[in-house]
Amino acid sequence: MSGEVLKRARYKTSVKDSGVAGVLKMTEDKFVFMPNDPTSSARFDVEFRFIKGHKFSKGGSNKPALLNLTQDSEKGGGYIFEFENYPDREVCREFVGKALAKFSEASKAGSEQSAVKLFDEQLSTIEMERRIKLLREDRHSVPEEKFGVLLLKGILPLFGETIIAMKLIDSGIASKVKWDCSELQKLHKQFVLSGVLTEAEFWATRKKLLDGNTSRTSKQRVGFKSAMISDLKPLTDGRTNRVTFNLTPEIIHQIFAEKPAVHQAFLNFVPNKMTEKDFWNKYCRAEYLHCTRNTVAAAAEAAEDEELAVFLKHDDILASEARRKIRRVDPTLDMEADQGDDYMHLPDHGIFRDGSKEIIDPQYEQYRRTLSQDLNRHAAVVLEGRPIDVELEDTRTVAEALAKSKRVEAANEKSDGSVTRERLERISRMTEIEDLQAPRDLPFAALCIKDPRDYFDSQQANALKTLGDTLAGSKQIKCSLSSQEAYGSLRGFISEIKSVGLSDPIVKPDIALKVLNGLTQNISSTKFHLGKNPQESVLDRLPIITKEELLHHWTSIQELLRHFWSSYPITTTYLYTKASRLKDAMSQIYPKLQEIKESVQSDFRHQVSLLVQPMLQRRRETLKRRRRSEPQEGPGGERTMGSIGTDLAVMERILELVKPILEHSKTEQEADQDHHQNQARAQHAHLTSTAHPVRFPLVPGSRENCSPLCGLVKMGVLLAFSLSDLREVGWRRRV
Amino acid sequence: MAPVPSKLYSDDVSLLVVLLDTNPFFWSTASLPFSKFLSHVLAFLNSILLINQLNQVVVIATGCNSCNFIFDSSSVPANPNLENGRMPALCSNLLQKLEEFVTGDEKLSKEVLAAGIGSSLLSGSLSMALCYIQRVFRTGPLHPQPRILCLQGSPDGPEQYVAVMNAIFSAQRSMVPIDSCVIGAQHSAFLQQASYITGGVYLKPQQLDGLFQYLSTVFATDLHSRRFLQLPKPAGVDFRASCFCHKNTIDMGYICSVCLSIFCKHHKKCSTCGSVFGQAQSDGNSATDRKRKTPET
C-alpha cells in the first residue's frame, strides 16, 4: 500500500448538494479534507477505522464521479466526495478499499467488539468482487443462471439485503439450485448457510489467498488489440469524392508502434513543418493510395511530394530492423528448406488483400506492400506488447514515449555484447567439421566406485523382508563341486535330455492342479495386502460415491479445524460460542461416517473403517489441544504441560485446575468428556490390537501405524458409549 | 526409445526373450534337475510359438562368465525334416547351441574355488536382451511386443548392482516388461525390483515340478491379454534405504552427492567413491542442511 493519495475533490453532505471544493488527502489510517476556502467549516480529519464501507457511482460520461464513505449505521451519514474525473476517483476508491480491508482484518483478529459486529458487516465492493470471483473460479459445471442464484444466496446477505435473498429463496428458484459444484461451494453451503460459521468467518481464512490473486491480476498490462489497423476502412459517403478516415488515439498508438517510419516522420515534422492535422491528412492520403492499389498513381504522387513518399515507400527503419533480426537467427537454420513448398512463388502466399489480385510492374515494386508483410509486422508488435505507460490522449506524448522506450531497448541491446560473441561461438560450433576437431575435453572427474556391492546390500535387506524371506534363512548353500565337475554335470544333464527327449507328460495332472490352486489362492490373497502398496490407493477401489463422500467429509473436517484453530486462544465468550458451534458441527460428522461405513459392501467395510480412522484421530487431537490450551487461563496457570496428550495423570491434574473455569462453560465440559471417551477407547483398543501396521494412503501427513482391529474397536466403542457413560468413566478415573 | 505405436501389430504378437540361468554351480545343487527344467522350458517355448504364428522367441543363456544367444526362432530354418524322432528341430537346435555355450563358458572360468554358488551374469544377459529388442524396434515395418522372461536360479550378484539397475531402467524406458520366475531357494531382490519397475510379473514357484504349469499360466500371457487378467502380484516393494555403513534401515540420512551412497551419520569421506565431504553445517535441525554436501570434485 503506497503511502498517501492527494486529489482535488468536492465534499458534499448529500448527493444533490453542490459541495465545497477542496483537497482530499488519504494516508494509511485516515483521510483529511481541506477546503480551498479557509473560512469554510467543512474541514475534517477522520480515521478509517470509523468508516464501515464505501460506495461509488457508476462510470459514465455525464454522471459525476462520486465516492461515498459510509460511517457506522447507528451514527448514520457519511462523507460524499465528487472528483474531477473518474481516474482520480478510481485511485481513491482503490486506496479506500485497501485501507478498509486492512482495518476489517485487524479488527477481526482481536477485539470481540468488532467480532460481534461481523454479522452486520458492510463489505467493501472489492472484497465482494473477490468473493464472487473465488466462487466463480471454483465452480466447474454449474449453469449460469443457477450459479446466479447461488451467488445471490452467498453474497446478498453481505449487503444486509437479506430480504431480497429470502424472497428469491421463497419463490422457489433457489430450491432448483443443485449444489453439485465445487469443494468451496460445498463447504460454503455446509457451514455458512447452516449457521456453523458466519460469512465473514468463512472468508477470513481465505483472504490472504485472494489478496495474492487480485494484486497479481491488477498488475497485468493491457496489450495491443489483435485486430489489424488495415481493417480500418476509409468511409465514403457515395455522393461526393470525400473520403473519411477515423483515427482514435488507440489507432494512432498502434500506427506508431507498427510503422516506425510514420513514427519517425511524426517526430520530425509535426510541430515545425506541419500541423498534426496535416500530418494525418497526408498519412490518410497515402493509406488511400494503398487501398486503391494504384501503384502507378502512388509512384507519381510520391515523386511530387517527398513527405508523402515517406508513407508510401517501404519502411527503412523496419527493413533495417528486419535485417538485424535476420542476423540473429540461428545460423544453422535451413531457410532453403521452405522453397520446396509450392506457395512461395505466389505473392502473399496466394492470399490477397481484400480478395483481389494485383499485377505489379517490378518498377513500382517499392510502392507495394504485401499482406504478409503487414501481418508479420502486426504480429510482431502484438507479441512485443505495449511498451509505454502513458495516457493515449496526446499524440505527441505517445510518440515521444514510444521513441524513448525504443532508445532504451536499443541501448540495452548494444550493451549486450556477449550475445554477439555467443552467436559467433555457436556458428563456429555448428559449422565445424567434427572429424577435424580435437576432442573437446570437458572438465570432469571420473566416478570411481570402489565396491558396487554396497548399493545392493543397502537394498536387499528390505526387499527380501517384504517377500517374507529372512536373511538368516537364505544362508549360502555350500557348493562342494569344483568348477570342472559342475560344468561336467551340467553337460551331463544336457546330454541326458538329448537322449531321453522331453518328458511325457511334462507335468503330472495332480501337480498341475496343485499349481493352479496355489496361483488362484495367491491372487485372491493379494486382496488382503491392500493398502500396503503405497502406489495403489484403497480409495480407488471404493465405489465412486463413497469415495467422494469420504473426501468431502475429510475436507469438511479440515475446514472446521482450520476455523477452530484460528479462534485460539479462547479468551472471549464470542470465541467460546464459535468454538462450540464448530465442535457441534464436527460431532455431526461422526454419524455420517458411520452411515457410510454401513452402506458399503462388506468387502469394503473394513477398508472404509481404516480410512475413517485417521479422521477420528484428527478430531481427538483437536479436543486434546483444546484442553491443553485451557490451563493457561486457569488461576494456577501451569504452562509446562508439554506432554499432556499422553499422560492421563497430568490431564487429570489440569482438570482440577480448569474446573472452576469449566464450571461456567458447558461446552468445555463436554469436550472433556469426549476426551476421556477417547482415552478410554484408546486404552481398550490397545489391549486388543495386534501389532500389524497398515498405511493409510488417503491422508497425506497422517500415515500413522495403527492396527485395523484397533480402528474397528474404536469405531464400535465410540458408538456404544453415550456421553453420560463417559462422564462416569471420566470422573471415576479422576477420583 | 519408446516403440512407435503404429509399428506394432494390431494383433497380440509377442517377442519373448528368455534369459536362461546356466550357472553350473546352482544346477548341481538345485532340487530340480537341469534336464527336467529344460524339458519344462522347451515345452513352454514351443507353446509360445504355437499361440501365434508371428510370435518370436529368443533364448539367451546366462552363464557365470559369459552370456550368449542360444536360440532365435526367427533365424531357424523351419525345416521339419531335421527332427530326429525324439524331439522337434527347435529343441535339438537349442540344446546343441546350449552345449556349445556351456563348453565355451567353462573355458572362460578361472579355477577358483568359490565359497558358495557364484552369481550368473544377469546384467550381461539383460543388456543383450535389451539390445536385441532395440534392434527389432528399428528394423522392419512392424515389430512384435517385446517382453523379457528371466528364469533365474542363482543368487543375486551384488557386484552387478549398478549394471542391473541400469538395465532395469533402460527396460522401463523402452516399455519392456521384465517377468521373473525365480527357481532358486531364495528370492531375488534384483528381479523383484526389475518386475516391479517395468510392470512385469515376479513369481517364485513353490512346486518346481509343476514349472510348466506356472510358465504357461502366468508367463505365456501376452501384454494385450494382461490387461484383462489378474496375474499374481507381489504385495509391493520396500524401497526404503538402508545405510551403507551399518545396513540399518533409515528414514533420514546423509547422501553422497557424487555416488548417492547413503550413510546414517556424517563421514569425512565417502566410503564408496572416495569423495571428501566439506564441513557439515553446524548441527542445525533442518533436514535440508543435513543433506547438503560438497564433494571434492
Q: Which residue of B has its CA nearest to A478?
A: B116
CA of B173 to nearest chain A CA: how many angstroms apart? 19
B36 touches chain A (CB under 8 A): yes
Question: What's CA A694's distance to the chain center, in Å?
Answer: 34
Q: Please give the C-alpha separations between residue A392 and each of A97, A233, A257, A569, in angstroms, as whole numbers.
A: 27, 22, 13, 55
The number of CA neighbours under 13 Å toward the Cβ of B166 is 10
Residues with Cβ within 8 Å of B92's Cβ and at least 6 positions away in sequence, in order, are A498, B82, B83, B84
- Residue-wise pLDDT for B92-146, tens only, equals 888 888 989 998 888 887 765 555 667 889 999 999 999 999 998 888 788 888 9
Distance from CA of A551 to the nearest CA of B (A): 25
Indicate the number of domains in chain A. 2
CB neighbourhood size of B246 (10 A)? 12
Contact list, A467 vs chain B (CB under 8 Å): 187, 192, 204, 234
pLDDT in tens, A624-678: 555 555 443 333 333 222 222 223 333 344 344 444 444 444 344 344 444 444 4
Task: Tell me, yes or no, if A479 comes closer than 8 A to chain B by beta carbon.
Answer: yes
Nearest to A515 among B185, B207, B231 (CB): B207
Q: Of A508, A510, A486, whose CA–CA distance to B34 is shortest? A: A486
> With pLDDT > 90 as the criterion, what percentage of chain A qualifies?
0
For residues A267-277, average pLDDT: 76
Q: What is the pLDDT of residue A566?
A: 72
Q: What is the mean pLDDT of residues A205-232?
A: 58
- Going by CATH, does the domain composed of B14-228 fall within 3.20.20.70? no
Q: Which of A458, A464, A532, A703 to mutate to test the interface with B (most CBs of B within 10 A)?
A: A458
Determine which of A369-378, A722-731, B194-203 has the lowest per-residue pLDDT on average: A722-731
Q: Which residue has the higher pLDDT, A25 or A428?
A: A25
Query: B209: distance to nearest CA of chain A, Å?
Result: 7
Q: Choose between A734 and B149: higher pLDDT.
A: B149
Q: Give contacts of B111 with chain A, Cβ < 8 Å.
A: 482-484
Helix A125-138 with A86-109: angle, nearest 10 deg: 80
Interchain pair B39, A497: CB under 8 A: yes
Distance between CA atoms of residues A16 and A19, nearest Å = 9
Closest CA to A183 of A172, A174, A195, A191: A191
| Cβ–Cβ contact B74 with A under 8 A | no
Query: Which of A484, A491, A506 is most worth mutating to test chain B (most B CB atoms within 10 A of its CB)?
Result: A506
pLDDT for B2 equals 45
Residue type, A526: T
pLDDT at residue A713 tops 70: no
Whether residue A459 lies within 8 A of chain B, CB to CB, comes out as: yes
A107, A126, A152 - which closes a domain: A107
Looking only at the bridges linking them, the beta strands covering B178-182 and B202-203 are: parallel
Task: Name the one residue in this structure whose C-alpha cell is 475533490.
Answer: A9
**Helix (H), strand (E), coil (C) string for A243-283:** EECCCCHHHHHHHHHHCHHHHHHHHHHCCCCCCHHHHHHHH
Q: A48: domain range?
A: 4-107
Residues B168-199 pLDDT 10s: 999 999 889 999 999 988 888 888 888 988 98
- More confident site: B2 or A79: A79
pLDDT of the residue at B16:
94
User: To probe the interface with B, which of A457, A515, A533 has the most B CB atoms within 10 Å?
Assistant: A515
B116 in contact with chain A, both atoms CB, cutoff 8 A: yes
Q: Does some domain include residue A290?
A: yes
Q: Does B102 lie at the interface with A, CB-CB under 8 angstroms?
A: yes
Q: What CA–CA distance (Å, rounded) separates B278 from B162?
A: 26
Q: Start-end ranges of CATH 3.40.50.410 in chain B? A: 14-228
Residue A239: the pLDDT is 63
The residue among B211 and A498 whose pLDDT is bigger is B211
Quote the pLDDT of residue B62.
92
Among A453, A498, A512, beta carbon nearest to B161? A453
Chain A residues within 8 A of B238 when measuring between CB atoms? 462-463, 465-466
Is B251's Cβ below 8 Å from some Cβ in A?
A: no
Beta partners for B276?
B269
Q: Largest Cα–Cα distance in chain A?
A: 127
> Closest Cα partner for A622 from A685, A678, A682?
A678
Window from A86-90, A721-725, B79-83, B205-209 with minimum mean pLDDT: A721-725
pLDDT at B219: 92
Q: Is A731 part of a structural domain of the chain?
A: no
- How many angstroms separate the CA of residue B195 from the nearest CA in chain A? 13
B108 touches chain A (CB under 8 A): no
Question: CB–CB of A506 and B40 under 8 A?
Answer: yes
Mean pLDDT of A250-264: 77
- For residues B127 and B163, the answer to whether their CB atoms sit within 8 Å is yes
Neighbouring CB atoms inside 10 A of A158's CB total 19
Residues 16-35 of chain B whose Cβ lies under 8 A from any Cβ of chain A: 22, 24-25, 27-29, 33-35
Check: CB of residue A537 under 8 Å from CB of residue A697.
Answer: yes
Residue A100 inside a domain? The answer is yes
Predicted confidence (pLDDT) at residue A547 exceeds the cutoff of 90: no
CA B170, B174, B177 angle in degrees (round to 5)? 90
Strands A51-56 and B202-203: unpaired
Q: What is the dihedral of CA A435, A436, A439, A442, to 10 degrees?
A: -100
Write out chain A residues lying below 8 Å of B160, CB-based.
452, 456
- Of residues A613 and A491, more confidence is placed in A491
Mean pLDDT confidence for B258-274: 85
Across the range A20-26, mean pLDDT stands at 82
User: Nearest chain B Cα to A536, which residue?
Assistant: B236
A594 residue type, one letter = Q
Answer whether B236 sits within 8 Å of A491, measured CB to CB.
no
pLDDT digits (tens, 9 = 90+) for A493-525: 888 888 887 777 888 888 899 988 888 877 766
Nearest Cα residue in chain A from B203: A519
CA angle A608, A614, A620 (to 5 degrees): 130
Total beta-carbon pairs less than 8 A apart between chain A and chain B: 231
Q: Can you give the CATH number for the domain in which A18 is found?
A: 2.30.29.30
Q: Which residues of A touch B105 (CB under 8 A)?
A: 487
Question: Rounded to whole angstroms, how far apart are CA atoms B43 and A503?
Answer: 9
pLDDT digits (tens, 9 = 90+) for A24-46: 888 877 788 888 877 777 777 77
Lowest mean pLDDT among A196-210, A555-569, B62-76: A196-210
- Vertex B189 angle, CA B187 and B195, to 5°: 100
Query: Looking at the complex, does the CB of residue A471 fall below 8 Å from at least one CB of chain B?
Result: no
> Are the Cβ atoms of A490 and B28 closer than 8 angstroms?
yes
Least confident of A57-61, A306-310, B269-273: A57-61
Of A450, A452, A477, nearest to B274 by CB-CB distance is A450
- The nearest CA of chain B is from the CA of A539 a distance in Å of 17
Give residue A9's pLDDT band: very low, low, confident or very high (50, 70, 90): confident
Q: Does A532 touch chain B (CB under 8 A)?
A: yes
What is the radius of gyration, based on Cα positions, of chain B? Answer: 22
What is the ipTM for the molecules in this complex? Answer: 0.78
Query: What is the distance between the alpha carbons of residues A602 and A434, in angstroms, rounded to a whole number?
Result: 70
Residue A108 has pLDDT above 70, yes or no: no
Say yes or no for a CB contact (<8 Å) between B209 and A507. Answer: yes
Please determine, for residue A187, whether its predicted confidence score (pLDDT) is greater than 60. yes
Q: Is residue A16 part of a domain?
A: yes
